[in-house]
Structure 1
Amino acid sequence: MNKIILGRYIPGKSFLHRLDPRSKLVLSFLFILIIFFANNWRTYILLGIFTFFCILLSKISLGFFLKGVRPLIWLILFTVVLQIFFTRGGPTYWQFGPLSITHFGLVNGGYVFCRFVLIIFMSTLLTLTTSPLEIADALENLMLPLKKFKVPVYEISLMISIALRFVPTLMDETEKIMNAQRARGVNFGEGGLIKQLKAIVPLLIPLFVGAFNRAEDLATAMEARGYRGGEGRTKYRFHAWHKNDTLSCIIFGLLAAILLFLRSW
């Protein structure tokens, strides 16, 4: 099974599963926003404890999240290394030409690593506890005021929900194609850069063909079921704001207030 968890949904009856998708979506975006206000180890510890608390409320194993971060670890480390070698300030521990390792560079690299991990955890927590249909409904409700400016709200929410739905499907299909190509003697990890790029071609072609075929089948199925856009369509799923959603907003407000206090401490 593919280890990328972004876009996957795990049904459940936890506190987070029962929250209104609109509150989860807004609070997730606000959490990602306040991450960039963290500027010291106290604020990052606070955000880490809050994220761990949310994972406990979701009743989803922490190891599942750690396995999901693993495929992105090289991107995270690459960004951290850039921060370490090209950020200057404070005592210099090592220098070679334009590259240097300074105290401020190490601290900033650690902060960037924490930001990446927290953002990935919170984003995947949203998709794990909220189905793609609920996310589409929440986006549609939140973007309704944009209809006055002729923004295609229904089409945008539909595209986002379909994209979230097919991310894990495409990842699983990629893994199947890679296994099939390995069985035919293709090696994706050996040789120079040019050889590795050539090895990717037998992977990309069937993946793109399968994606376009799936998109065509989906469009045909939607037309056969009479889909003509979201305008004027009735709904059988109605979301209601409950006291748990209000409680979540209060807790988030306290989190933001404590973070701003620790930021200036």
Structure 2
Amino acid sequence: MLQNIVIGQYVPVTSPLHRLDSRSKLISLLALAVIVFLANEFWSYLALLATVVLFVALSRVPLRFFVKGLFPVFILIVFTFLLHAFFTNEGYVLFSILGFSIYSGGIEQGVFIAIRIGSLVILASLLTLTTKPIDLTDGFEFFLRPFKRFGLPAHEMALMMSISIRLIPTLLLEADRIMKAQAARGADFTKGTMKTRLETMTAFIIPLFVRSFKRAEDMATAMDARGYRGGEGRTKLRVLQWRLQDTIACIVVGGVGVVLAILRDF
């Protein structure tokens, strides 16, 4: 399951979303994270699904990346669906099982919440799948720059956030390798008492921490060797440029929010 995390990965293809400025994508993602919660009935959820499908198609990222991204939250989606199915007493009774009456409203709410969670995961994945890490860093720095007057190191904070996102798939891949290596040595992470499992997990957690700190130390040494001294006085080889297509993208996202807000009243 660890290798199925796609947040933090970048897919180098040519698409309208790849050509957008990272700032417009960050603004759109924050807006969409709020807009998702405006959907509350069939037509609004249908419009939300159409929006997500449109963005996925525009990204030209292979569909398998989004399927892999949804797999880690599949258990959460199923659990949320069952929770609503068994405990929401709205609509009419469809059938009874194990002493519970399953209502049509519960199934409907379960499906809607599953769509909402899946949409959030896909939209978050789109940001990193279509944005280079360096562009993401510049976008973060742009929005943090006004806080420099309060003593916030905008460049360093943006770089830290970008590196953290970028290292998510790397560390998860490292964790998967360690688990397989320990399993090959006889470690079993699924059987035994709680105490035995905790003792077994130490054989996984300690090497992961050691390798993480070693990777961080190597990265710090490499940055120091290349003369990195923070954001003061630094120039940029590539300067972010806000184009007409970025304005159009933000307007489209705003239009989606307006449509969902209108559909809430129907």
- Provide TM-score, normalisation by structure 1: 0.89
Which residue of structure 2 lines up, in the alignment, with residue 153 of structure 1? 154
Per the alignment, in what secondary structure is the counterpart of residue 171 of structure 1?
A: helix
1:1-24, Cα deviation, whole Å (9 max, x unpaired): 922111101112211111111001
In structure 2, distance between residues paired with 1:192 and 1:148: 54
Which residue of structure 1 lines up, in the alignment, with residue 19 of structure 2? 18
Shift of 1:84: 4.6
Alignment of 1:48-197 (within 5 A): 48-85=49-86, 104-197=105-198
Moved more, 72-81 or 206-215: 72-81
In structure 2, distance between residues paired with 1:262 and 1:207: 48
In structure 1, distance between residues paired with 2:208 and 2:104: 45
Per the alignment, in what secondary structure is the counterpart of residue 137 of structure 2?
A: helix
1:191-220, Cα deviation, whole Å (9 max, x unpaired): 454444333221111101100111111122
What count of residue pairs does the alignment treat as equivalent? 264
Q: Can you give the 5+ residue segments of structure 2 that lack an aligned partner in the other structure?
A: none
Shift of 1:89: 5.1
Which residue of structure 1 lines up, in the alignment, with residue 40 of structure 2? 39
Shift of 1:189: 2.8
Mark the CA change 1:182 to 1:151 in structure 2 (over 3 Å): closer, same or farther.
same
| 2:185 alignment partner AA | R
In structure 1, distance between residues paired with 2:69 and 2:198: 25
1:75-95, Cα deviation, whole Å (9 max, x unpaired): 333344445555555567769
In structure 2, distance between residues paired with 1:198 and 1:73: 28
In structure 1, distance between residues paired with 2:71 and 2:97: 30
Which residue of structure 2 lines up, in the alignment, with residue 251 of structure 1? 252
| 2:70 alignment partner AA | V
In structure 2, distance between residues paired with 1:232 and 1:22: 22
In structure 1, distance between residues paired with 2:203 and 2:112: 39
Which residue of structure 2 lines up, in the alignment, with residue 260 of structure 1? 261
Shift of 1:116: 1.1
Shift of 1:122: 0.5
Shift of 1:42: 1.3
Mark the CA change 1:253 to 1:192 in structure 2 (over 3 Å): closer, same or farther.
same
Per the alignment, in what secondary structure is the counterpart of residue 190 of structure 1?
A: coil
In structure 2, distance between residues paired with 1:106 and 1:199: 40
Which residue of structure 2 lines up, in the alignment, with residue 7 of structure 1? 8
The alignment-based identity, stated in percent, is: 42
In structure 2, distance between residues paired with 1:7 and 1:186: 29
Alignment of 1:198-217 (within 5 A): 198-217=199-218
In structure 1, distance between residues paired with 2:85 and 2:160: 38
| 1:223 alignment partner AA | D
In structure 1, distance between residues paired with 2:251 and 2:264: 20
Moved more, 207-216 or 104-113: 104-113
Shift of 1:187: 2.3
| 1:206 alignment partner AA | P
In structure 1, distance between residues paired with 2:102 and 2:192: 31
Shift of 1:65: 0.7
Mark the CA change 1:87 to 1:196 in structure 2 (over 3 Å): closer, same or farther.
farther
In structure 2, distance between residues paired with 1:86 and 1:185: 42
Q: Can you give the 5+ residue segments of structure 1 that lack an aligned partner in the other structure?
A: none
Moved more, 217-226 or 134-143: 217-226
In structure 2, distance between residues paired with 1:57 and 1:261: 25
1:45-93, Cα deviation, whole Å (9 max, x unpaired): 1111111111111111223211221122123333444455555555677
Moved more, 224-233 or 174-183: 224-233
Mark the CA change 1:95 to 1:53 in structure 2 (over 3 Å): closer, same or farther.
same
